[in-house]
């Protein structure tokens, strides 16, 4: 039997077609492989399945196209199950290789394993495909030549995975170029593996066998390989392109959102959140390099005035202009941000010396001070700057508060200047935090006490009543005055608790005095925050009723500035207090800006002239003129006038001459405990010159009997 071999005569056009198909399959597989790195597991698995499908179908299709291009003197029939098995093996090999080579860890050993697995799959697939040819006698393998070629195939795959790894690291514009570069060696290796096998296998002359029941002929496979597989690949590519476009649009939208969340919409400068991120990075860099970072806290002086006089839009325009100026002053590495309101931040990197920061602060002061035109009007702004340096002025988290403290110091110095941070600038803040903590405890532990300062009838010198003034017996600091803790309580929401305690304690004291036969009229001070308290009047009325006190014995003092702050609310509260029978006094009169028409509407009984006018009475004609005018005004409005802070007999004389009704001050008595005042009233243990008005002891008129 002649066992000579058939000489494969290859038609070049078909071979080029096979190569093109292999290149296309490799490109599609690599495109899908990019999705394998997705953190979303189902997406990654989908991408892996798609990439393996593209590679395996491409591998087999390239083989069948090449086979059809070989001029053989017989019809080719394949065993359908074996062809399917080849496809499955190609799929598994491709999937394993991609899973190994396309990996986040980028370990070379995985890349190598992926290369070997895919190289072996590429070489094995055409062998299996040929084995599934129904031939008798079987093929004549030229193993040595095949093995030599396999080395080249593995090399090509290795080069492909290398190029693909570059594609993952490349800038976005170069990704596709690297992907195409990877597709060339991979597609070529796929095609060459087929060529090798087909070229070096010997087909015997008489190799023929009739088609079996489960066979599929070469033409059908060629049709599938040249039409169905390219269509499938095109579909896979389309889905991959659409998915990556969708992902890119999503990423862009997310980035835009992120930028918007970190940008100040008015000035388009970074906001405080973004600035803090930069600050953290800058301080970490500074730590590594042993360098300094400086932070400038810039506050515009008088933006409130611009807002009030020219309107909010003008204020916004000023802020935008100032933001632009600051940005233009900043160096290329410096960061400018808007911290909120009228505050800006500037971060200086590159080891700025204290002189550099001071020099820049001076330039900022000048630049921001330049005239700025808003709505054709010239506005001149100034700013106060605080400077804090890292690491000298504290930890990274303290840098912004410390620069802010320095800015406040600059403001206290009159503004339009800069200050460098010093530890003493925050000493008060720590103190405040401690004091606030103690105050909360003091309210619970009853460390507060009311002192009473008598009010004197000017003409007779007799005591007519007393003003309740709060005192705090601090366990360590001793006696703390209300000018320290009342503003703190107002700022940190403790004033209501304090005010409620005050109302209760004053009423209890009036009742105690009443029970011992003293009809004392008491004034209590109301804070502006208490005036906004919805249930203030009800609380006072309840306390009066609970202690069975005549409401006329209680006076509420409201400072003139508090009465002016929210006139509608104050009017309503005062009307309700008046309706409840409680008296009203306007405290510190002359320091606020009452309008006469408003004053007329207030149902007040008393005006208390501020101590500052009394203080200057002896020396200043102006002060005398003011007091005289206030007395006349009060008389015209039918109000009683009380002068507070009387310290000398000369002041007393002038005030009496000017027509004041009552006087209050250290000249007569300092604020004292309720016990001291009781002893004085009962046993006459007070200044000899002072008497209590007889009416104060008129029990029948005083407190309602229990």
Contact residues: ligand C2E, CB under 6 A: 453, 469-470, 481-483, 486, 502, 525-527, 557, 587-588, 644-647, 664-666, 671
Cβ neighbours of 446 (radius 10 Å): 10
Distance CA 454, CA 138 (A): 127
266 secondary structure, DSSP code: T
Distance CA 438, CA 435 (A): 5
Is 483 or 683 the residue whose CB approaches ligand C2E more closely?
483
Residues 430, 433, 434, 435, CA torsion sign: positive
Distance in Å, CB of 497 to ligand C2E, minimum: 12
Binding partner at 481 among ligand C2E, Mg ion, none, C-beta below 5 to 8 Å by kind: ligand C2E
Is 302 or 645 the residue whose CB approaches ligand C2E more closely?
645
Distance CA 87, CA 125 (A): 8
Distance CA 28, CA 10 (A): 27
Contact 116, 154 (CB under 8 A): yes
Distance in Å, CB of 305 to ligand C2E, minimum: 27
Query: SS3 of 267, please?
Result: coil
Binding partner at 192 among ligand C2E, Mg ion, none, C-beta below 5 to 8 Å by kind: none
Residue 545 CA to chain centroid, in angstroms? 50
217 - beta bridge partners? 77
Long-range contacts of 325-331, Cβ-Cβ distance < 8 Å, separation of 24 or more: 325/367, 325/368, 325/370, 326/269, 326/298, 326/364, 326/367, 326/368, 327/269, 328/367, 329/360, 329/363, 329/364, 329/367
Query: SS3 of 42, please?
Result: helix
- E runs forming strands in 302-391: 335-340, 343-348, 372-374, 377-379, 382-390
Short-list 397, 400, 396, CA closest to 386 = 400
Distance in Å, CB of 493 to ligand C2E, minimum: 14
Checking DSSP bridges between strand 343-348 and strand 335-340, what pairing results, if any? antiparallel
Binding partner at 396 among Mg ion, ligand C2E, none, C-beta below 5 to 8 Å by kind: none
Is 319 or 577 the residue whose CB approaches ligand C2E more closely?
577
Binding partner at 647 among ligand C2E, Mg ion, none, C-beta below 5 to 8 Å by kind: ligand C2E
Segment interacting with Mg ion (CB under 5 A) among 324-332, 354-362, 550-558, 596-604: 550-558
Cis check for the bond before 391: say yes or no (omega within 30 of 0).
Answer: yes
Question: How far, CA to CA in Å, does 237 sit from each of 47, 307, 500?
Answer: 11, 59, 75
Is 400 or 604 the residue whose CB approaches Mg ion more closely?
604
Is 27 or 589 the residue whose CB approaches Mg ion more closely?
589
Is 339 or 468 the residue whose CB approaches ligand C2E more closely?
468
Segment interacting with Mg ion (CB under 5 A) among 22-30, 426-434, 638-646, 681-689: 638-646
Is 165 or 559 the residue whose CB approaches ligand C2E more closely?
559
Is 288 or 483 the residue whose CB approaches ligand C2E more closely?
483
Residues 253-282 that bind Mg ion (CB under 5 A): none
Segment interacting with Mg ion (CB under 5 A) among 155-163, 424-432, 493-501, 518-526: 518-526
Binding partner at 512 among Mg ion, ligand C2E, none, C-beta below 5 to 8 Å by kind: none
Distance in Å, CB of 587 to Mg ion, minimum: 4
Query: SS3 of 537, please?
Result: helix
Is 348 or 523 the residue whose CB approaches ligand C2E more closely?
523
Binding to Mg ion by residue 662, rule CB under 5 A? no
Distance in Å, CB of 268 to Mg ion, minimum: 49
Distance CA 343, CA 129 (A): 75
The token duo for 217 is: 């002929």
Short-list 626, 605, 509, CA closest to 557 = 605
Distance CA 519, CA 322 (A): 63
Binding to Mg ion by residue 525, rule CB under 5 A? yes
Total binding residues toward Mg ion, as defined by CB under 5 A: 5
Contact 649, 458 (CB under 8 A): no
Distance in Å, CB of 574 to ligand C2E, minimum: 16
Q: Which residue do the tokens 């808003």 mark? A: 374
Binding partner at 136 among ligand C2E, Mg ion, none, C-beta below 5 to 8 Å by kind: none
DSSP string, 545-605: HHTT--GGGEEEEEEHHHHHHTHHHHHHHHHHHHHTT-EEEEEEETSS---HHHHHHS--S
CA distance from start to end of the chain: 140
Is 79 or 557 the residue whose CB approaches Mg ion more closely?
557
Residue nearest to ligand C2E (CB): 665
Distance in Å, CB of 542 to ligand C2E, minimum: 19
Distance CA 99, CA 55 (A): 13
Binding partner at 666 among ligand C2E, Mg ion, none, C-beta below 5 to 8 Å by kind: ligand C2E
Distance CA 105, CA 123 (A): 28
Binding partner at 225 among ligand C2E, Mg ion, none, C-beta below 5 to 8 Å by kind: none
Residue 63 CA to chain centroid, in angstroms? 60
Segment interacting with Mg ion (CB under 5 A) among 86-94, 178-186, 224-232, 640-648: 640-648
Binding partner at 555 among ligand C2E, Mg ion, none, C-beta below 5 to 8 Å by kind: none
Distance in Å, CB of 304 to ligand C2E, minimum: 25
Is 502 or 584 the residue whose CB approaches ligand C2E more closely?
502
Is 286 or 609 the residue whose CB approaches Mg ion more closely?
609
675 Cβ contact partners less than 8 Å away, ≥ 6 residues apart: none
Binding partner at 340 among Mg ion, ligand C2E, none, C-beta below 5 to 8 Å by kind: none
Binding to Mg ion by residue 557, rule CB under 5 A? yes
Binding partner at 331 among ligand C2E, Mg ion, none, C-beta below 5 to 8 Å by kind: none
Distance CA 345, CA 486 (A): 33
Binding partner at 645 among ligand C2E, Mg ion, none, C-beta below 5 to 8 Å by kind: ligand C2E
Is 271 or 509 the residue whose CB approaches ligand C2E more closely?
509
Is 90 or 562 the residue whose CB approaches Mg ion more closely?
562
Binding partner at 502 among Mg ion, ligand C2E, none, C-beta below 5 to 8 Å by kind: ligand C2E
Cis check for the bond before 137: say yes or no (omega within 30 of 0).
Answer: yes
Binding partner at 528 among ligand C2E, Mg ion, none, C-beta below 5 to 8 Å by kind: none
Residues that bind Mg ion (CB under 5 A): 525, 557, 587-588, 644
């Amino acid at each position: 039997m002649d066992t000579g071999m058939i000489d494969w005569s290859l038609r070049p056009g078909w071979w080029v077609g096979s190569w093109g198909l292999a290149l296309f399959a490799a490109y599609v597989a690599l495109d899908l492989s990019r999705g394998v790195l997705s953190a979303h597991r189902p997406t990654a698995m989908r991408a892996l399945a798609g990439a393996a499908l593209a590679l395996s179908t491409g591998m087999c299709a390239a083989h069948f196209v090449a086979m059809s291009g070989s001029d053989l003197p017989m019809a080719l029939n394949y065993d359908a199950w074996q062809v399917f098995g080849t496809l499955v093996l190609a799929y598994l090999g491709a999937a394993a290789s991609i899973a190994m080579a396309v990996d986040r860890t980028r370990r070379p050993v995985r890349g190598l394993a992926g290369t070997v697995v895919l190289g072996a799959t590429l070489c094995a697939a055409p062998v299996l495909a040929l084995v599934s040819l129904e031939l008798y006698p079987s093929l004549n393998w030229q193993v040595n030549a095949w093995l030599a070629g396999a080395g080249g195939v593995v090399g090509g795959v290795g080069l492909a995975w290398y190029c693909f790894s570059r594609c993952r690291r490349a800038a976005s514009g170069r990704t596709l170029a690297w992907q195409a570069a990877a597709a060339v060696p991979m597609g070529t290796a796929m095609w060459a593996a087929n060529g090798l096998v087909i070229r070096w296998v010997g087909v015997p002359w008489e190799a023929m066998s009739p088609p079996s029941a489960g066979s599929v002929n070469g033409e059908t496979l060629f049709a599938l390989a040249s039409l169905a597989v390219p269509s499938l690949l095109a579909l896979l590519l389309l889905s991959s392109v659409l998915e990556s476009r969708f992902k890119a649009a999503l990423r862009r939208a997310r980035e835009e959102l992120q930028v918007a969340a970190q940008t100040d919409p008015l000035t388009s400068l970074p906001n405080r959140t973004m600035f803090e991120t930069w600050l953290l990075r800058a301080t970490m860099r500074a730590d590594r390099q042993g360098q300094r970072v400086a932070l400038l806290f810039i506050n515009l002086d008088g933006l409130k005035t611009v807002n009030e006089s020219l309107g909010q839009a003008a204020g916004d325009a000023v802020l935008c202009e100032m933001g632009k100026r600051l940005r233009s002053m900043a160096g290329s590495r410096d960061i400018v941000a808007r911290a909120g309101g009228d505050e800006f931040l500037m971060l200086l990197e590159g080891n700025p010396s204290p002189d550099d920061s001071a020099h820049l602060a001076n330039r900022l002061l000048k630049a921001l001070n330049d005239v700025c035109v808003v709505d054709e009007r010239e506005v001149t702004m100034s700013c106060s700057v605080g400077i804090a340096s890292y690491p000298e002025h504290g930890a990274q988290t303290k840098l912004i508060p410390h620069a802010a403290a320095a800015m406040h110091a600059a403001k206290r110095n009159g503004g339009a200047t800069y200050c460098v941070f010093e530890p003493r600038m925050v000493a008060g803040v720590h103190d405040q935090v401690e004091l606030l903590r103690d105050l909360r405890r003091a309210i619970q532990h009853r460390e507060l006490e009311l002192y009473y300062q008598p009010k004197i009838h000017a003409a007779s010198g007799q005591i007519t009543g007393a003003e309740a003034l709060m005192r705090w017996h601090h366990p360590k600091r001793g006696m703390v005055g209300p000018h320290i803790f009342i503003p703190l309580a107002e700022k940190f929401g403790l004033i209501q608790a304090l005010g409620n305690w005050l109302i209760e304690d004053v009423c209890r004291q009036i009742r105690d005095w009443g029970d011992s036969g003293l009809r004392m009229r008491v004034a209590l001070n109301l804070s502006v925050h208490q005036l906004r308290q919805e249930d203030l009047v009800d609380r006072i009325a309840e306390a009066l009723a609970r202690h069975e006190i005549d409401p006329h014995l209680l006076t509420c003092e409201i400072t003139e500035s508090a009465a002016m702050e929210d006139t509608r609310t104050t009017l309503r509260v005062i009307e309700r207090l008046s309706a409840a029978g409680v008296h009203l006094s306007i405290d510190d009169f002359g320091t606020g800006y009452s309008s006469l028409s408003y004053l007329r509407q207030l149902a007040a009984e008393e005006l208390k002239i501020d101590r500052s006018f009394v203080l200057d009475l002896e020396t200043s004609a102006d002060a005398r003129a003011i007091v005289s005018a206030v007395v006349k005004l009060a008389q015209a409005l039918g109000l009683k006038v009380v002068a507070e802070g009387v310290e000398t007999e000369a002041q007393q004389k002038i005030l009496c001459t000017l027509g004041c009704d009552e006087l209050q001050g250290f000249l007569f008595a300092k604020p004292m405990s309720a016990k001291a005042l009781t002893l004085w009233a009962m046993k006459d243990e007070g200044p000899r010159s002072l008497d209590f008005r007889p009416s104060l002891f008129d029990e029948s008129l005083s407190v309602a009997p229990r």
